[in-house]
Every structure is written in C-alpha cells, then in structure tokens.
Structure 1
Amino acid sequence: MNENSRTMTTVSIGQRTIMMSDQGPLNPLPMLGAPPESPYKITGELPREILEGSAYGYPRNLYPYQLQDGYGRTRSARSLQTVVLENGRLRAVFLPGLGGRLWELTDKGTGKNLLYTPTSIQFANLALRNAWFAGGIEWNIGTRGHSPTTCSPLHASILTNAQGQDVLRMWEFERLREVVFQIDAWLPPDSPVLYVAIRVRNPNDTEVPMYWWTNAAVPENPASRVIAPAGSAFATSYTGDVSRVDPTNDGGADCTWPVNNARARDFFFDISTEKQPWILQADGDGDGLAMLSSQALRGRKLFVWGQGRGGRRWQEWLSPEGGAYAEIQAGLAQTQFQHLVMPGGAEWTWVEAYGNARVDPRIAHAADWSAAVDHCGRRVQALQDGGSVEAAHQAASGWADHEPQRRVGTGSGWGAVESIRRRRGRIPWPEQSGTPFETETISEDERPWLDLLEGKGFGGADTFVNGTDWEVLLEQCPHDAPALLHRAFIKHARGELDDARVLYLASLELAETAQAHRGVALADLSQGRTGEGLAQYATACSLEPESSALLAEGLTAFLGADDAQGALGLLRQTGHPATRQGRIGFLEAAALAGVGKTEEAAALLKAGLEVADLREGENPILDLWQQVCPNEEVPARYQFSMA
C-alpha cells in the first residue's frame, strides 16, 4: 500500500446481492394494544436512577406505527443499496434501506470484519414493530426494544464537511416520540476509527421520554471475551429480576466469555461516570470491535443468547446458514429499562467511535480481571482518547446543520407531512437545513393526510396519525365514515375508550367496516365485555375473511377468553384455507387442544408448524406440545426458551 492510498478516504454508492426474506406488506391494523416490551418490574437494592427511570416513559401503545409482520421464512436473492466509507485502515459498509444498519466494519490490517455479518437476512419477531434481523450495528430510538425504524429506509445523503471530508448523513422523523434524529458517519484519512455523530432533537414544547441504544453484533466463539471498565454489572436472565453481579463470577462462571453463559443474559456494566465509557470484544488474536464514545452515551451492555437449546435455536432461526453472535451495546441510560427526560426544545448530541483496539490476548484473556481492564483501557486510549473523541464531537456539531449535497436514499414522507402540519399550525419544528424533509418524499401512504391538511377533504387512509390538530381537521368531516373511524383510532390510542367506542359505532352507522368492528372489539374486551367483544371480532372477520392479520388477532382473543370452541367456529366461518402452517395453524392446534381434540392438535404439531413471527421470549409451541404430547420429547425445532 503506497502512502497516498493509505491517507485517502473514499465514499462509494453501490449494490450488494444478498439472500433475504421478503418483508411483505404492512399489517393494516393500527397498533392499539400494549407494546411488546412492557415495563420491567424492578425491585431490590438498585440505584435510585434505575428504579425511577424504569417506572417512567413507557408508551401505552406504538400507534401510529403499523406492524411489519408480512415476512416469511423463504429467502431469495435481492439487491440492497450500500454506502461504503473506506480509508487505508477501515472499510465500513452501510445499508441505508434497512434502518441505516452498519453491516460490516473491516480492519484492513488484519482482514477481519469486526462485526458479525450473516450471509443472509432473515426477519424475525424481535422488534417493536415485529420485523428485525441479526448482524451489524443498529440504532435504536424511542422506547425499550429494537427501534420502529430498524427495518425501514432512512433518508440518506452525502455532504462534504469543512475539512473536505465526505460524511454519510442518515435521518428520519421518529413518530412515537415525535423527534428528529440524524446519524453522521465519517472516516478521516488514516483514522483507525469510524466516527458516528448522533443528534436527537425534540421540537415539542413538552418533555418526551427518550431512549437510545446502539447495538453491535460481534462473533461469538470460545476464543472471544467481552471487557468493559467495571467490576460489577446489573444482570437479567428473562425471569423478571435484575440483580447486581460480578460478571466474572456469576454462579461460578466467568460470563465475560459469552460461551460460558448457559442461558440468555443481559449484563449492564456499572461504569463510573468519571471514566470514558467503552466496551470491546477480543478474540484469540486480541482483535475485535471496540465501542467508545463521548460521555453522554453512558451505558454499556453485553447480551448473550446462551448455550442452552433455546439460545442455540434462536441463533439458527436468525442465521439459518449458521453462525453465532453476542451483542455489545451502548446507551444513554445505565440500563435498557430506563427512559430519560428530554425537555421540550432540547437537542442531544454525542459521538461514537468504532475500531480494533488490538489488545494483547494474554492479558485481556487472563483470569485477573483488573489487569485485563487496565490493559484494554490503555489500548482504547491509544486507539482514541477522550480528548480526540470530544474533538470529533465538536467538529460534528459544527456541520450538523449543513445541507446534504447528494441524496442517496429516501426514508418515509412522514417528516415532510409533519413539517407542513407544524408550519401551518405554527407549532415548533427544528431547522431543516441539515435534515430536509422534502415534499417529494411524500408517498401514497402519506398523501391522504397531506390532502386533509390542504383542505381537499378526506376519503380515508390505510395509515394512521396522532394529535389533537388532526382531530380538529377530521372533525370538519362530521358525516364521513373514514373520518369518524380515524378519530376513533386517535381516541383509542390515548386510552379514551368510551369516546372511541362512540366514534366507532357512529362510523358503522354510515359504513360497515372490519376496522370499526375490530376497534369496538378491542374496547369491549378491555372494559370486560368479553361476549360483546368476541362477537365484534367475529363480525370483523366475516367482513374481511381473507385477512390473516385480523383472523390471527380474533383467534387469539377467543383463546384468551378460554373460548376454544368459538375459535374453531371463527375458523369455519372465515373459510380460511387449511394450510395448517404459520400462526393460523398454531392457533388452530391450540383451539383443537382446548376442546379436547388432543390427537388432532398433536398431528398438526408433528407435521411441523413454522410460525415465522414467533416472538422473542415466547415459546407457545413448546407449551402446547407438552400439553398434547406429554410423554414425548419436545423436538429441537420447538425449543425457543430464553430462560
């Protein structure tokens, strides 16, 4: 390598073909139920900030988002856009179309990818909106869980900063908290680290609960250890408890070696606020990803799937072609159970840096944890000390509002609709020069709402909005069934069930729709009117018998009310094809078991059910197997237990 090539930085836009499952269509039903990540019940001798933060900020639901659950388990070759930043030391590959994921980070000196990057992308039900995939580094914002934007395209552009360096900027309007976030990634010439500057802006005049965690997947193998500058950690094991542990001696095991964990675990390292926060993974040669940052990104975590049958099954489920990984993570709070108070009008910024610390494995892997931490801390400082990170932070703040010069990817049109809405209503909105939300990005998904803003009436929409000013606009269409329906959705999302129910029924007087009956069903069930709620679900499913999303929700409601006979009746009513696969097949088996037809239920399970969107932490197929096949070993394909 000559000196010129070593000091050059290039940014290139390209395509990569990868085996990938199809995301499928959005679920048409608004997300009015409780979010998948409920508040964690934390008790015990824990710091007050963890206890208080864990009781604050959890949303009632994830409205106005929609589920991304239309995927399956069949993968085919697909072309994905890539943005590649490269200098003489590192090569970073981003996927703007999939949440801006940093997919690869290669140390050119060793030829090693510092991240776990699977050979295919298989979606699974781990995110707040369901769809998620393993690998790389992802950016999580809003509330506990994998971000609503993790499987959606971000706006992406290239800009040139004051130093003449090209910067990849990605940004989006996050609809749950109604904030704007941006991610600036750059790789200075000859730099041993990739820099990523994050900015989150709250344009609202009120506080919002804020959450951010950056999650990095790293290879898991017997030669790899994870190290952070802490002598203890707050650990969970998917059983509902949190406790302070010594991660090097937790139940007799040194759990800083991911392969030593028998079950799925989270370790939130208790790092002093006086220290520069970092975490790294070191393989048998001492190579591996080092994650360091400015002080604002306080938390550091190790996540492992564990070596039990359930953990191994999840690894196979997420990476069908093989490969095991752990995650090292960094967040604004000390744990992922907490939200922080972000004041109205606030702007939060920080810088993250990623590289290979190249530690001495003899020291980093030794039994003396203090010596390992001290050595790795010196290597991190050599890689990038706190002063250099802060200098990068200051530099990034200087160009944060610079206009992007070359667009390379387009996110949603919701930011554009929001900017128009707020300008017309004289509602605060951040300066858009650095993160432009252009009218041209508005798609058919958002178009009905733009028409409503522009006074063109409202003919209905397959997407959803939230906010009192939207209600005011919809109230101007008092005899319009779609307007009444969407007013009901907004009331329902706020928890105003009585008012929502009145609006649902008013819309039904004008037009009978499955969505309105489903809304009444949810309200009735929430308020203890079980029989009425189930009858409303039956009516909804009869109006849209082809909707598998509605049928699955209805069957789940019947089974939750211990009405297995009603569930079987619902299946017969809809004439749903007896595919005996997927979630519908599982719910059919559960209903059969519920009416005592255990042999028929067992036959469905033994034929091999595959529920593509099986939720992380749930294992209903195993439970059903043990019920209908009590004397038979549970097949490995049904072993998803996290505990």
Structure 2
Amino acid sequence: MTSTLRQDLLRIEGAADPVATLPILHGISPYTAGGTGIDEEMRRGLAYGAPHSLLPYTRQDRYDRDRATRELPCVVLENEHLTAVLLPALGGRLWSLTDRRTGRELLHRNPVLQPANLALRDAWLAGGVEWNLGTTGHWPLTCEPLHAARVTAPDGTPVLRMYAFERLRGIVLRIDSWLPAGSKVLLVHVELHNPAPHETPVYWWSNIAVPEDRETRVLAPTGQAFHCDYVSDLKLVEFPLLDGEDRSYPGRVARAADYFLDLPAGERRWIAALDATGAGLVQTSTERLRGRKLFCWGTGTGGKHWQEWLSGPGSAYLEIQAGLARTQLEHLPMPAGATWSWTEAYGLLQADPAAVHGSWEQASQAAGRALAELLPPAELAAAHESAAGFGAPEELLASGSGWAALEIEAGRFPASARLPFGSPGDEQRPWRALLTTGALPVSDPPAAPVTGAHWRALLEARAEDWHARYHLGLLRLADGEPDGAREAFQRSLELLRTPWALRALAFLAPDPRQAAELRHEAHLLRPALLELTIEALDSLLAAERPAEALKLIEGLPAVTRGHGRIRLAEANAAHATGDDDRVRRLLAEGIRVDNMREGEVSLDTLWQAVHPGEPVPPAYDFRMSEG
C-alpha cells in the first residue's frame, strides 16, 4: 500500500463549538521557584516571558454540555501500518492514530467532543495530540481552525500542512505531517518563525493523551523529575519512586500531579506509555524538543470526576508531553528573525513485558532498545532534513482565520507561497479600514482586538472617538502600561459611557469596591450580556457586598437565573449573608457550572461550608489536591 491523504468526515457526539465573547485582559504571572534542584538556567526561564495580558484573544466561554451527533471535516493520512486522523478545524489536533494490523487505537480517542474550562481562553477538548504554542497553558488556537493544504514531498509522499499566525507572540507556525510508505511511525515536522525585529518569548508543548489503566507504565530515559502537585513548590525528585509510590504507574497514583522528566544531556528524546503486554504509544523527536512530561489526574474522586467531565464514563486517560523547555513554567528567548524546527515521530512500541514491568532501569532500557529498532535516530534525522524540501501547497484543504492575511497587509511579515494565508475576512475589516484611511470605524460591540506596535502607532496618532480610545487602551495594556491604558479608557468613557471601557477600568481598579461599582454599571448598560452579569456578581462578592449581589440576581430573567455560574453566585451570596438553608436548597436542586475551571474548588468548598463533616458528592468534587 502506498501513502495516501484524503479528506473525510468524523462523526461524533459533541457540544456546539464555543463562542468567543469578551477580551482577556489578564496575563499570567512569572513563576518563582525556591524548591530543590532548580538551577540558574531554569530560574531564568521561569522568570522570563510571562505576558502582561492575553490580548488580543477573547474568552471562549460560551458553550454548554448539550451534545448531539456532529460531522467534523478531517484529514486522514494512511499507509500499510498506520491511519492518522487530524482535525484542522480544532487547532490541527491529531485526533486518532490507529495501528492497522491490530486495529489498536494508540491515543485517547475521546468518544465525545466536550469543551471544558482548561485552556488559556477557557474552552478546551481532551484527547489526541494537541499542539501548544504561545505561553504556559493550552494554546489560544486549541478550538480555532488552522489553514490546511496538501503538499507533495520530493519522493511523492503526500503531506498535510497546517499553519497559522499565533497572535499573542507573533509567531508563524507550520506543521507538516506525513506517513511515508512502509513507515511504522507518523512524522510531524514543526517550524516556528519569529518575523519580529526583536526577541520574543516562546513556549511549545506537544500534549499527547493516551489510555490509562492500572497497568499502564510511562517510561523515559531518566531517573529524576521536577515534581509539581499544585500545592507545594516545584522541586527536583527521584523518579519513579516518590513517597513510597511508583509514579510511573499513573493509574495507581492518588492525586493529580505533573512530573517534568529531566532527560540528561546526550540521551535520546523520547517518552512512552506501555500497557501490561509492553505495548503502547511512543513519542520521540529530534534534539530541540528537550522536555518530557507525565500528567495524571489521580485516582481520587476529583480526578475521576474530571475525566468523566471531559470524556464521559469509562474513558480514563493520562498525558505524556514533549516541549522546548524542561518544564511548562518556562519560556525561551527566540531571537529576532529566527526559525526553529524539529521533527517528532509517533508510533506503536512493543517491548518485552517482563522488562517493561521490571525495575525502572530494565524498563527504560528495554523501551529504548525497542525504539531504536522501530526508528533508528539516523532515520529520524533524515526525515527532519527531508522536510526542508517540502515546497508550496498544491491544494487548499481548510481555511483558518484572516488575521495572518491582515498582518501581511500591514507589513508585519511577508507573504510566502509555502503558507498561503488567503485574504482578511469580516472580522478584520475595521482594521483594514484603519490601514487604508487612517481611521478605525466605530462599532458597538467593539471590533475584535489587535496588538502590535504598528497598530498602536496608528491609534496613538489618531484616536478621536470612544471606540478608538478603547482600543488604544487595550494596546497599551497589552504592552504592560496600565497607567497609559487607564488614561485611554477614562477618555473613552468621557466620550461615551460604554460597558466595554467600564469593564476595562474595573480590571485596573486597585480597590475591589471601585471595581464592583464599575462592573455593576457595565452590567446595567448591557443587562442581556451574560458574561458582564457574571463578572458583576463575582465583583460584588469580592467586595463583600453579597446582599447587592442577591438583589441583582433576583431581578434577572428566570432563564438567566438558571445558568450555572449565576446559581453558584447566588449560593455564595446566600452563604455570605448567613442564609445556609438557601444554599442547601440550591445544592440539592443541582448547580452545574459548564465552564468549571481546572483547579477551581468553589463547589466543593461551598458544600463543605454548609454540610460540615459530610463527604462531597462526586458531582461537586473537582479537587485536584488534598485539602
């Protein structure tokens, strides 16, 4: 059988795609580690590159858990050994990788398509292999379409090219995937290009979900890891034995944790998850992709609930990952004009089961030998070199957003025949007008945000109305200038009082009471916008004004009061006023928060407050750590 590429439809039970709402004003904080084993290189990476804001992105927080049969466009790569299914419409995710001889699925192929609040923009999907570029977290395009095209390699092998412009960092991304005839591994070549005239912080992790049971063992060529359990400091520990538990068997570990496996210099870069028979997925790469990680949800009630929340019952999974840095808390400096690339390989590894489940040294050595037979390092290096010869696309298969095309028109980076980004669309039209006329058209709601020095220069020169002033404030905020942003938002309000500038000023307000006043007014100006209502309630509670929060809730339409976040706010406000009977009634009726945040403990904390000493029901238990 020769290598083939075809378009198809993936039928799956899924919720509707998440809808983007309000701009994300906050950034992420740099991580300061005081734990053992943190060297100077890691300290620099931990302190470097955290973005002031996640602008220009908006939150993707409008979705639910009502599922129906959906058909998603997909691209299928196939040879005599493997079938790979990729989803350009969902961040280019590798959804499935099947061994054709045995019919075995090597990845966690999620039986449902269910958004949940785990990504930088909120909405995220479990399963398959996710490509993460930008900053610490699940990347901004995880639920967005990428451009996709068919390319032919010099030897005639069909190649799927997916590509995008990541707007937070301003990085051009290219992902080429191919299955050469006779290959027992899927090859994925990743290229990042920084077109900016300055250094840019960069983050990349390939996030690989694989099935988990009690016999699944994760192996890599190391004897130590940087351990993060979400409650204590990042620290270097011996791996796999920690506190009397063998952490290489994630299905036996009680609580969720990250283990950043510290691969020694000179060791081949790989990680594998193998079952009781010694078989399972292996991922390896060329040298640049330095880090490897194991994440497990744990066997506690909270961990099990999270897995069912994301994938339905009976779909336990773990994650093995590969990244540019040693941990996901670091960023690396990418020089101006630089291009970085590496090649990854994914396939079925079969090793001696007795060795795989023997001592750690026996197991990792046996897996390493099996990998050397499956894919010798020289073959991976040759594949990496061959990707440089992949030329321009012959056929476009899917379209992404128009933001890259807009930035090309703005002169941020040149057009390339290898990455045909098409033309700007409706979302970019206001900014095209700014380029051609020097004025940004007024719109309410405002135009989608942009960031970048060229856009800021245009608005600094001419921002004469509330809308232009509002966007100037966003641009200054993204550049880490809160005082300048505040001045622009205040001037926007002087020109016209809008909920958008009020919300932005509330974010910058140093006093919770002032923030509550501003967000409450924003809600009153646009009472039908649920996201503003939720922010107003959260702000009133933070300002210790629960009675006002209850008054606001009682004036809402019944359908709005039934929303999970509104019911949670009502329960918290009732508890703060001493009305615990009302809290118990709400909990008994049911509070389902569709966008419950990873790590959020609001529901179990509330339950324990009004039912002291009683176990938290599984439906309310999202705890990822003890206590």
- Of 617, 620, 625, the residue aligned with 1:635 is 617
Q: Distance in 2 between matches of 1:38 and 1:56?
A: 7
Q: Distance in 2 between matches of 1:576 and 1:34?
A: 34
The answer (yes or no) to whether the contact 2:8–2:73 under 8 Å persists in 1 is: yes
Matched, 1:415 2:408: no
The correspondence of residues 182-201 of structure 1 with structure 2, limited to 5 A, is 182-201=174-193
TM-aligned CA deviation for residue 618 of structure 1: 1.3
- Of 379, 383, 388, the residue aligned with 1:392 is 383
Shift in alpha-carbon separation, 1:271–1:364, aligned structure 2, 3 A:
same
TM-aligned CA deviation for residue 548 of structure 1: 1.0
Corresponding residue SS for 1:454? helix
Q: Distance in 2 between matches of 1:42 and 1:570?
A: 44
Kindly provide the CA deviation profile for residues 458-482 of structure 1, in whole angstroms up to 9, marking residues without a partner as x.
Answer: 2234310112321332345443221
- Of 529, 532, 537, the residue aligned with 2:519 is 537
Q: Distance in 2 between matches of 1:88 and 1:337?
A: 40
Q: Distance in 2 between matches of 1:249 and 1:484?
A: 57
Matched, 1:83 2:79: no
- Of 146, 156, 170, the residue aligned with 2:138 is 146
Shift in alpha-carbon separation, 1:331–1:392, aligned structure 2, 3 A:
same
TM-aligned CA deviation for residue 572 of structure 1: 4.3
Q: Distance in 2 between matches of 1:536 and 1:16?
A: 45
Matched, 1:222 2:220: no
Q: Distance in 2 between matches of 1:593 and 1:49?
A: 47
Kindly provide the CA deviation profile for residues 264-319 of structure 1, in whole angstroms up to 9, marking residues without a partner as x.
Answer: 01111111120111111111222211101100011111111000111111011101
Alpha-carbon RMSD: 1.7
Equivalent in the alignment of 2:502: 517
Q: Distance in 2 between matches of 1:219 and 1:145?
A: 22
Matched, 1:459 2:452: no
Q: Distance in 2 between matches of 1:381 and 1:119?
A: 33
Shift in alpha-carbon separation, 1:67–1:156, aligned structure 2, 3 A:
same
- Of 425, 428, 439, the residue aligned with 1:446 is 428
- Scaled by the length of structure 2, what TM-score is found? 0.96
One-letter amino acid of the structure 2 residue matched with residue 16 of structure 1: L
Kindly provide the CA deviation profile for residues 210-236 of structure 1, in whole angstroms up to 9, marking residues without a partner as x.
Answer: 110001111001222111011111111
- Scaled by the length of structure 1, what TM-score is found? 0.94
The answer (yes or no) to whether the contact 1:23–1:69 under 8 Å persists in 2 is: no
Equivalent in the alignment of 1:363: 355
The answer (yes or no) to whether the contact 2:438–2:458 under 8 Å persists in 1 is: no
The answer (yes or no) to whether the contact 1:64–1:176 under 8 Å persists in 2 is: yes
One-letter amino acid of the structure 2 residue matched with residue 362 of structure 1: A
Equivalent in the alignment of 1:503: 488
Shift in alpha-carbon separation, 1:51–1:109, aligned structure 2, 3 A:
same
The answer (yes or no) to whether the contact 2:513–2:543 under 8 Å persists in 1 is: no
TM-aligned CA deviation for residue 43 of structure 1: 2.8
The answer (yes or no) to whether the contact 1:488–1:503 under 8 Å persists in 2 is: yes
Matched, 1:14 2:3: no
The answer (yes or no) to whether the contact 1:593–1:601 under 8 Å persists in 2 is: yes
Equivalent in the alignment of 1:25: 19
Shift in alpha-carbon separation, 1:462–1:569, aligned structure 2, 3 A:
farther
TM-aligned CA deviation for residue 573 of structure 1: 5.5
- Of 599, 602, 611, the residue aligned with 2:593 is 611
Equivalent in the alignment of 2:124: 132
Kindly provide the CA deviation profile for residues 500-520 of structure 1, in whole angstroms up to 9, marking residues without a partner as x.
Answer: 233223222332211111122
Bigger mean CA deviation after superposition, 448-457 or 590-599:
448-457
The answer (yes or no) to whether the contact 2:53–2:477 under 8 Å persists in 1 is: no
Corresponding residue SS for 2:154? coil
The answer (yes or no) to whether the contact 1:263–1:642 under 8 Å persists in 2 is: yes
Corresponding residue SS for 2:254? coil
One-letter amino acid of the structure 1 residue matched with residue 410 of structure 2: R
The correspondence of residues 56-75 of structure 1 with structure 2, limited to 5 A, is 56-75=48-67
Equivalent in the alignment of 1:119: 111
Kindly provide the CA deviation profile for residues 617-637 of structure 1, in whole angstroms up to 9, marking residues without a partner as x.
Answer: 111111111112224332110
TM-aligned CA deviation for residue 171 of structure 1: 0.5
The correspondence of residues 578-617 of structure 1 with structure 2, limited to 5 A, is 579-617=561-599
Q: Distance in 2 between matches of 1:63 and 1:576?
A: 33
Query: Which consecutive segments of 4 or more residues in structure 1 shift more than 4 A?
Result: 572-578
Equivalent in the alignment of 2:369: 378
Equivalent in the alignment of 2:304: 312
Structure 2 unaligned residues grouped into runs of 5+: none
One-letter amino acid of the structure 1 residue matched with residue 623 of structure 2: S
Equivalent in the alignment of 1:622: 604
TM-aligned CA deviation for residue 62 of structure 1: 0.5
The correspondence of residues 174-253 of structure 1 with structure 2, limited to 5 A, is 174-253=166-245
One-letter amino acid of the structure 1 residue matched with residue 3 of structure 2: T
TM-aligned CA deviation for residue 189 of structure 1: 0.2
Equivalent in the alignment of 1:437: 421
TM-aligned CA deviation for residue 38 of structure 1: 6.0
Matched, 1:100 2:113: no
Kindly provide the CA deviation profile for residues 437-478 of structure 1, in whole angstroms up to 9, marking residues without a partner as x.
Answer: 221xx2221111112112173223431011232133234544
Aligned residues: 622
Corresponding residue SS for 1:337? coil
Matched, 1:406 2:395: yes
TM-aligned CA deviation for residue 110 of structure 1: 1.8
Q: Distance in 2 between matches of 1:9 and 1:130?
A: 37
The answer (yes or no) to whether the contact 2:75–2:85 under 8 Å persists in 1 is: yes
Equivalent in the alignment of 1:494: 479
The answer (yes or no) to whether the contact 2:226–2:259 under 8 Å persists in 1 is: yes
Shift in alpha-carbon separation, 1:341–1:477, aligned structure 2, 3 A:
closer
Q: Distance in 2 between matches of 1:435 and 1:205?
A: 20
The answer (yes or no) to whether the contact 1:580–1:586 under 8 Å persists in 2 is: no
The answer (yes or no) to whether the contact 2:30–2:47 under 8 Å persists in 1 is: no
Shift in alpha-carbon separation, 1:13–1:623, aligned structure 2, 3 A:
same
One-letter amino acid of the structure 2 residue matched with residue 435 of structure 1: L
Q: Distance in 1 between matches of 2:562 and 2:514?
A: 29
Identity of aligned residues (%): 42
Shift in alpha-carbon separation, 1:41–1:613, aligned structure 2, 3 A:
farther
Q: Distance in 1 between matches of 2:453 and 2:191?
A: 27
TM-aligned CA deviation for residue 568 of structure 1: 2.2
Bigger mean CA deviation after superposition, 493-502 or 335-344:
493-502
Q: Distance in 2 between matches of 1:40 and 1:288?
A: 36
Q: Distance in 1 between matches of 2:196 and 2:98?
A: 40
Corresponding residue SS for 1:159? strand
One-letter amino acid of the structure 1 residue matched with residue 598 of structure 2: E
TM-aligned CA deviation for residue 533 of structure 1: 2.5
Shift in alpha-carbon separation, 1:478–1:46, aligned structure 2, 3 A:
closer
TM-aligned CA deviation for residue 237 of structure 1: 1.0
One-letter amino acid of the structure 1 residue matched with residue 525 of structure 2: L
The correspondence of residues 50-61 of structure 1 with structure 2, limited to 5 A, is 50-61=42-53
